[in-house]
Structure 1
Amino acid sequence: MGGTVAEIELSPAEFVLEETIEAVDGLECEVERVVANADGEVMPFLWVDAPDLEGIDEALEGDETVDNVELLADVDGERLYRMGWVRRVDALVQMLVEEEGTVLSAVGDADGWQFRLLFPDRDSLSRTNDYCRSNGIRFQLHSIYSLEEGRQGRFGLTDDQQDTLEIAFERGYYEIPREADMMALADELDISHQALSERLRRAHRSLVQNTVVIGREGRPDG
């Protein structure tokens, strides 16, 4: 079976890191990988970025929704953390443990958390919805579709990644020979050559993971 994909939104007040997001202006979070166990422990690898990340470690330390925070990498001002999500994660545990769901992508900022989730079938999603309603957990369901219907949707891309891929395609970056190079694209997007390279790498990884890998195995690894 192809499985069912749902794109949902949780408000900051309904999920983790609300205090940290409020404390650090312009903070953007992107889940690299998330796992959950039967004991209700959720352990993500989380990229964070902001115009100024000074003070984020103190904010994370005081945030009651997380613990065991560990900085794994600091790349051009963007940081990768491993941590435990310990509060406000009942809905996510229900999705990942009870219904055997998979997080395809998750990004969060001051406006809320956007999740793209893969469920074994629509009944799993329906049970998750019932669970959330019964426990007073509110979320917005933006779209739902079957992978067998053509794998519609964003394929785990952030807005910046999708915009960059579209511009790169329109400018002929993927033509042979190329009609635009990395420097020209970086100048148009007003970002550094390194930032563009990293954005394209992550976008390409998301496309492969959420198309080729899902189509072959049903559940991507990481």
Structure 2
Amino acid sequence: MSTIADLRLPAADTALATAFERAPAATFELESSVSKTRPSLWVAGVDRETAADAFAADPSVEVAELLVETESRLLYDVTFSEGASTNRLWDDLLADGGSLLEARATDGWWRVTVRYRDRDTLCNAYDRLIDRGVNADLRRVTDVTDADDHETRLTPEQQEALEAALEHGYFEIPRGISMEELAAELGISHQALSERFRRAYETLVDAELQPAGETSPLD
């Protein structure tokens, strides 16, 4: 059995606090498909100039390199300054084998979804955040039985992609493999793998997990 946790964290205590002050309308979403050594962030809701100014003003950001620009959002490779609270945040959340499934920030708050091997591991991660003074709000905790014990709603392709990602360290920080490399391992395109992940995350978090075994935080 593993445990899925949804947490809400204030940017002021964790990551990109100044960036949100400069660009309050921005939405940041972790996208780990480009670089295996640096996190990549999609930025939506603001123009290119505003996003660049926000990153430049944030003392926790050392470098923000624009990689992709679409009509609705921008993709940046981000290097955080040594000792930044952002780096410590991932250490606190993902120590002891935690896997980051999703991270999205809007209105000055981060919403993260993390998978842990059990509730004790989740409790240890939560305690680390509290001890560091992070006002962590644990919104939902779900225990998930092994695949042999329930009928999964994931497609075989989605399950294959997630299992390969776990095996090759894709969810680790820093990543053990990039999305391009993982796609090559699976013999599919980068775009196809990205779509499988998005649909799998939606199924796990929004469809399958919420109705099953939902409990109050840390009961």
TM-score by length of 2: 0.62
Spell out, residue by residue over 1:147-200, the C-alpha distance to the aligned partner (whole angstroms, 9 max, x if none): 228799xxxxxxxxxxxxxxxxxxxxxxxxxxxxxxxxxxxxxxxxxxxxxxxx
Quote the sequence identity (%): 22
Q: CA deviation at 1:205?
A: 3.9
Q: Deviation digits for residues 69-97 of structure 1, max 9, x if unmatched?
A: 1111111141101112342232321222x
Partner of 1:188: none
1:24 aligned residue: 23
Name the residue aligned to 1:68.
63
Could you say which residue in structure 2 is the equivalent of 1:130?
127
Query: Is structure 2 residue 138 aligned with structure 1 residue 141?
Result: yes
The count of corresponding residues between Structure 1 and Structure 2 is 157
CA-based RMSD of the aligned residues comes to 3.1
Instruction: Give me the whole-angstrom Cα distance separating, in 2, the residues matched to 1:27 and 1:151.
Output: 38
Equivalent AA in structure 1 for residue 91 of structure 2: V
Structure 1 contact 22–110 (Cα < 8 Å) conserved: no
Q: Does residue 92 in structure 1 map to residue 90 in structure 2?
A: yes
Q: Say whether the 8 Å CA contact 1:151–1:211 is kept in structure 2.
A: no
Give the 3 Å change call, closer, same or farther, for CA 51–94 of structure 1 in structure 2: closer
Query: What secondary structure is seen at the aligned counterpart in 2 of 1:33?
Result: coil
Structure 1 unmatched ranges of 5 or more: 153-200, 216-222
Q: How much has 1:210 moved relative to structure 2?
A: 6.2
1:82 matched residue in structure 2: 77
Q: Equivalent residue of 2:85, what SS?
A: coil
SS at match of 1:43: coil
1:114-152 superposed Cα distances (whole Å, 9 cap, x missing partner): 001111221111111222222222200000112228799
The 5 A counterparts of 1:200-211 are 205-209=197-201
Contact (CA 8 Å) 2:9, 2:109: kept in 1 or not? yes
Q: Secondary structure at the match of 1:54?
A: helix
| Matched letter for residue 85 of structure 2 | R
The runs of 5 or more residues in structure 2 that have no matched partner are 153-192, 209-219
Runs of 4+ aligned residues of structure 1 deviating over 3 Å after TM superposition are: 149-152, 201-205, 209-212
**Kindly tell me: are residues 20 and 151 of structure 1, through their superposed partners in 2, closer, same or farther at Cα, counting changes over 3 Å?**
farther
Distance 1:138 1:72, change over 3 A: same
Tell me, yes or no, if structure 1 residue 43 matches structure 2 residue 38.
yes
- Sort the Cα spacing of 1:10 and 1:151 in 2 relative to 1 into closer, same or farther, 3 A: farther
> Which residue of structure 2 lines up, in the alignment, with residue 4 of structure 1?
3
Letter in 1 for 2:70: V
Change (3 A) 1:112 1:130: same
